[in-house]
Structure 1
Amino acid sequence: VVTRTGLEGGALYALGAPLREAIARDGQAVLHIDLKPDLDLAAIAARLAKAPPSESLKNRLRKALGLEGVIPALLREGVPPADLATPAALAQRLKALPITLTAIRPMERAISTAGGITLTELDEHLMLRRLPGVFAVGEMLDWEAPTGGYLLQACFSGAVAAAEGMVDFL
């Protein structure tokens, strides 16, 4: 999903840890996106070759491949103009569009966060090994949490496990 502030969505959430690490280490991460995963490179090039070269990029993409919305703008932003002019080069870019990521959203805009207490610091009831009687769940833990209802369910389930551990501890 392309927003005013960047990219987001399930695929990016799944890649969160390596993307964050690359940005922290290198100042950026280059993500290659397949904009037409249902077609192979040859099929894309063949469809683009049939489009009249006099048409705009936007029209060629829409008519030949059904690609609309922000895709022409993404291509113009990240692809040399010469690669937009020939069907073979454009097809290659559509199969692996490079998007350079330079930052992650700030903490106050986060859906979920990474970092926290490592799981090895906890026992099977989510009690801190070094601080008996102290339990940790949810966003307190260092785990790549899925977002939405999955995150909530994991937090609730962790809370039940911790509560059962508290009863046993007491």
Structure 2
Amino acid sequence: MTNPTDYKNAKSIYEFTVNDNRGNVVSLDKYEGHVCIFVNVASQCGFAKNNYPELNELYEQYGESKGLQILAFPCNQFAGQEPGTNEEICEFTRSKGVKFDVFEKINVNGDDAHPLWKYLKHKQGGTLGDFIKWNFTKFIVDKDGQPVERHGPSTSPKDLVKSLEKYW
């Protein structure tokens, strides 16, 4: 399975594949029927201190009861705050007790941005442009695989609950 050649024509996130943090290809159709949060993460970012524990909390609270899935994508495009290898990133997320899915390090901006992230930005543009401005930008994707909301890095994961409730 491959990513759509033109991300703008994709019907949902389910048309995309990503690599997990061991390099295995994962088809996003495995998340069909789930409300998802997609987030670009960086272990050395100041936002990591609150975002990781709060994302964990959301996942623990709503993963089983509501089917919430959280998909974290390490990215080193913002002040080099995710310089580690996939193995080092795994070690960091393990130390933070992360139970949600963490994928291979990707780019979220530019020509070599992952097609999935081009799609997310295309569907939910930002206020100052489609590009991702910083680590911990969060996209909410509904049960039909449609990106329905975008939240900036300063939005606390806990503050997403009211939004998430609309899609359960």
TM-score tier, shorter chain, comes to under 0.3
Q: Under a length normalisation based on structure 1, what TM-score does the superposition of the two structures give?
A: 0.25
Larger C-alpha radius of gyration, 1 or 2? 1
Q: Tell me which protein shows more strand as a share of its residues.
A: 2
Q: Under a length normalisation based on structure 2, what TM-score does the superposition of the two structures give?
A: 0.25
Q: Tell me which protein shows more helix as a share of its residues.
A: 1
Structure with the bigger RCO (C-alpha within 8 Å, sep 6+) is: 2
